Amino acid sequence: MDREAVKRLLKDVAGPQITFVDHENWVSFSCVFARWKHARGGDTRPSAGISLDNNIYNCQACHSKYSMIGFLRELGRHTGKDYQEHIDSLDDGEFGGGLLVWGQKTKAEDPMPQPLDASTRVRAGRARVG
């Protein structure tokens, strides 16, 4: 996600009152989990941010760290709101729509993994031939 997409998503899920501080590779803001995870129940300075390099949410104060999908799931758990539409759009855009739902089987047209050659053995994390 680019900077503007991150800001649009945050305004949509955290509210239009959220303010941002732009850094080279980060969008910083007050932690959206502060009322649940910060000792004083608030965040008066931007302790959280989303990395524009890898789209990871990170808060320096409460040590919350999530992928964007994990962030939305955790926020939904605390607020009781359903962010599945946002999660689906991240899945389509960020991962090409290829993520499976828990318990869902792969598509029949997906190629089966090739078995290892009989002479290849794995021992202590290293492949050995012979």
Would you tell me how many other CB atoms lie within 10 Å of the CB of residue 69? 18
Q: How confident is the model at residue 97 (pLDDT cuts 50, 70, 90)?
A: very low
pLDDT at 15: 93
Q: Which of 40, 118, 32, 12 is nearest to 75 (CA)?
A: 32
The single-letter DSSP state of residue 110 is S
C-beta atoms surrounding 99 within 10 Å: 14
- The reported pLDDT for the residue numbered 1 is 85
Tell me the per-residue pLDDT of 2-60, one tens digit each, with 9 for 90 and over.
999 999 999 999 999 999 999 999 999 999 999 999 988 999 889 999 999 999 999 99
List beta partners, residue 26: 51
More confident residue, 28 or 128: 28
The 3-state DSSP class for residue 15 equals coil
Pairing of strands 26-29, 21-22: antiparallel
pLDDT given for residue 123 in this prediction: 52
Residues found in the chain: 130
